[in-house]
Amino acid sequence: MSCRGMREELPLLSNLFLAVVALALLLAWWVAPPSMSHMLALLVLLVVSGLPHGALDVLLLRRLGRRWRWWMALYAAVALLVVGLWRFFPGWMFGIFLLISWFHFGVTDRLLSGRLAGGLEGVARGGAPLCLVAGLHSAEALELFSWLVPVVAAEQAVSSLQRLLPLWAAALLATLWLAARGRAWRVVTELLALLLLFWQLPPLAAFALYFALLHAPRSILLLPPLLPGLAGRQWLAAALWPTALSLAAALLALGWLQRLEGVALEQSLVQVLFIGLAALTLPHVLLWGWLALRPPGAAVR
């Protein structure tokens, strides 16, 4: 497997991610433990990066013909259904969210081509944000998860991810070996950077940097071949109104959690962010799953 077998992308993205990871690791050895202001900054980073990359799904939906508004309504209905089901079945929905996230991160972020190499890299990349957090920061992961689901479900999630850690590690080592043998050094350096990032930084900080600087930009870079002929202004306009609606819904949910349920600010911020991400992830993954079944290079019409 050589670099020629990798999917095409801008090298600048990898270089930026690696540079920020190096800076973050350097600062982690001198900066004091994270405070509330640090958490707010990380949550803003996640929102600023996450919402626009999902909001661009509207461009794909518009290419589905005259009934694109019906598809948009179905997209929103699926997101609302996730929120409703989370209210009554939080443990099950959290487990489904983790599985879908593993699949989505792996499929979107992988660079190697080929069924074996691409599949192993997908397992390694998709599981990194989950297995490393549960394996290296189990106490922090349990606290974070227990803000989203009952403690019993949080404990089950952490233990399940820990049991999957050997499988993930095997996929990681196999991917590193295949990438090094094929001189795909970008894959090697990114995977090692992810390992260092989630090893040295607190889980939320590591996830925010990974999501904002690698996953979200890489997802956006996959769109131009599917949507040829669109100007930058059209991309910006398409992302604005879904992002604004999502932010408005998040603020309403935050106010409801704090005033009506008395949830602490830190906990309510995490709940709104991650349950909101879960709600938007399912329709997002379903849409991209449909795109993955299309012939390579085919534009959405």
Instruction: Please tell me the distance from the alpha carbon of residue 250 to that of residue 254, in angstroms, as a whole number.
Output: 6
Q: 132-162, pLDDT tens digit by residue?
A: 999 999 999 999 899 899 999 999 999 999 9
| Percentage of residues in the chain having pLDDT higher than 70 | 69
CA atoms within a 13 Å half-sphere pointing along the CA-CB vector of 30 = 4
Distance CA 106, CA 224 (A): 20
pLDDT digits (tens, 9 = 90+) for 208-266: 888 888 888 887 777 766 666 666 566 666 667 677 777 777 777 777 776 766 667 77
Q: Do residues 74 and 149 lie in contact, with contact meaning Cβ atoms separated by under 8 Å?
A: no
**pLDDT averaged over every residue in the chain:** 79
Strand partners, 6: 112
**Is residue 163 classed exposed, middle or buried when 0-12, 13-18 and 19+ CB atoms within 10 A define those classes?**
exposed
When mean pLDDT is compared across 63-67, 81-85, 230-234, 250-254, the lowest value belongs to 230-234
> What is the domain partition of the chain in residue ranges?
3-31+38-292
Q: Which residue has the tokens 């259904």?
A: 81
Round to whole Å and give the CA distance between 287 and 213.
Answer: 22
* Among candidate residues 38, 55, 54, the one with its CA nearest the CA of residue 206: 38
Amino acid present at 176? L
